[in-house]
Amino acid sequence: MTDIWRLSASDVAALIAQRKLSAVEAAQSALARLAAVNPRLNAVVDWRPDAVLARADAIDAALARGERLGPLAGVPVTVKVNIDQAGFATTNGVRLQKDRIAATNSPVVDNLERAGAVIVGRTNTPAFSYRWFTDNRLHGRTLNPRHAALTPGGSSGGAASAVAAGIGHIAHGTDIAGSIRYPAYACGVHGLRPSLGRVAAFNASGPERTIGGQITAVSGPLARTVADLRLALAAMSGPDDRDPWWVPAPLEGPAQPRSAALCLRPDGLATAPAICAALHDAAERLRDAGWTVEEIDDLPPLEEACRVQTLLWMGDGYEAMVEAARQEGDPGAIAALAGQAGVAASLGAARFSTALAQRATLARAWQEFFGARYPVLLMPASAELPFAADLDLQGAEAYARVWAAQTPMIGLPLTGLPSLVVSTGMAGASPVGVQLVAGRFREDLCLAAGEAIEARGAPPMPVD
């Protein structure tokens, strides 16, 4: 058999279910791969091999007894260090939280374990999960396994680096402004931001999130195949009473025409030629698979959604966020907050109320777009190819450039809609990919289009 760590999650799950592979063998392969490449990448920052092997052994014993386990039985996965896993510190990449030991699992961890997954380690994030670059003063810098000079993305940079390099077959990430989708884009894997309410989430170890985070942040999967994203989404989407936003929506919706809109420059985005080429290529792949693709210029507002999203994300409690970043002394977190001072520092009750009202208006416009015109939208993930490491720290002009390029990452979470980044290949030494969006709870449409695009070419995975 080939190295187990190279296999897809779907293949590993099938082999374990058929008793052709043991969960312990899969865990040993994942841990060996971690030991081989993680010292260079620093993607996984907390792991306990003895506990991993004990969990895998328990799964093998349950299978031997004839017990029916979940769809991820024995599959090695990683989880991000900003969610609760009992007995581990929920650091969020912050020294101030290095001793915040979780007493209970988050719903995400519980659902993964109920599905039979083996959690092999916890992945890195920038301090406070603020940046599209992954480095912090507690755990250090994570490298992009495809090109060390490029950012691995953020804030789920450790997750994307790990799964791209073969450390685990599925990675958990979180996304409030691109934190699943951008690392997938930067590391040349696939990442799904589910609809708000699809995946239950809650951290008992920390204070309740402000309303902006509650209505825009989600958990979701990163993986090397779209089929593995589908498997992971099903596992992560189980019910949990701790999340009042969770919705028991079906994973498959009514049949829709295989039709997509293509927009190269939403709201006049300065999309780079290499990305326009990738979008045209993806459109041709869809057409080759029997889809109808129409290029359009008009979309619901994206820049306005970006402004409102930023206000809700960073504006509520801004002064406390700045003080925490100052105490932590993290340059990236300080720069991220300083870059939005003009938006966030002036927030008052009236402006915050207006922002919440604007959210409803914008979310409605986007949902109506999918309800009346097109089931799927094909659009840029970012206006640029993956950034050079720490570009956002190279002065105000560089920071503004990063922020402008990330409009598709920032604006869409405000709508509550699902979005999927599919890696389509390489542009020189840089990964490149596209973003697919669909109506609320229609992840199935994003995944169907993503599979058609993936079937016609993707960069080699995992990175050897």
pLDDT of residue 372: 80
Residue 326 has pLDDT above 80, yes or no: yes
Rounded CA separation 199/54 (Å)? 27
Residue 127 has pLDDT above 80, yes or no: yes
Query: What does the pLDDT average to over 217-240?
Result: 98
pLDDT of residue 349: 84
User: Per the residue annotation, which of 80, 219, 419, 430 is the catalytic one?
Assistant: 80
User: Does residue 155 carry a catalytic annotation?
Assistant: yes
User: Does residue 179 carry a catalytic annotation?
Assistant: yes
* Tokens matching residue 40: 């260079």
pLDDT of residue 1: 58
Going by C-alpha positions, the residue among 103, 162, 98, 157 that lies closest to residue 126 is 157
| Average pLDDT along the chain | 97
User: Per the residue annotation, which of 155, 161, 219, 423 is the catalytic one?
Assistant: 155
What tens digit of pLDDT does each residue of 356-382 get? Answer: 999 999 999 999 999 888 999 999 999
What tens digit of pLDDT does each residue of 249-305 get? Answer: 999 999 999 999 999 999 999 999 999 999 999 999 999 999 999 999 999 999 999
pLDDT of residue 291: 98
Contact at 8 Å (CB) between 103 and 113? Answer: no
User: Does residue 80 carry a catalytic annotation?
Assistant: yes
pLDDT of residue 344: 78
User: What's the pTM?
Assistant: 0.98
What tens digit of pLDDT does each residue of 19-67 get? Answer: 999 999 999 999 999 999 999 999 999 999 999 999 999 999 999 999 9
Q: What percent of the chain has pLDDT over 70?
A: 100
Contact at 8 Å (CB) between 145 and 41? Answer: yes
Query: What does the pLDDT average to over 234-240?
Result: 98
Rounded CA separation 35/190 (Å)? 24
Name 23's Cβ contacts closer than 8 Å, sequence gap at least 6: 16, 56, 57, 59, 60, 63, 73, 74, 118
Residue 113 has pLDDT above 80, yes or no: yes
What superfamily in CATH does domain 4-454 come from? Amidase signature (AS) domain (3.90.1300.10)
User: Per the residue annotation, which of 8, 10, 129, 179 is the catalytic one?
Assistant: 179
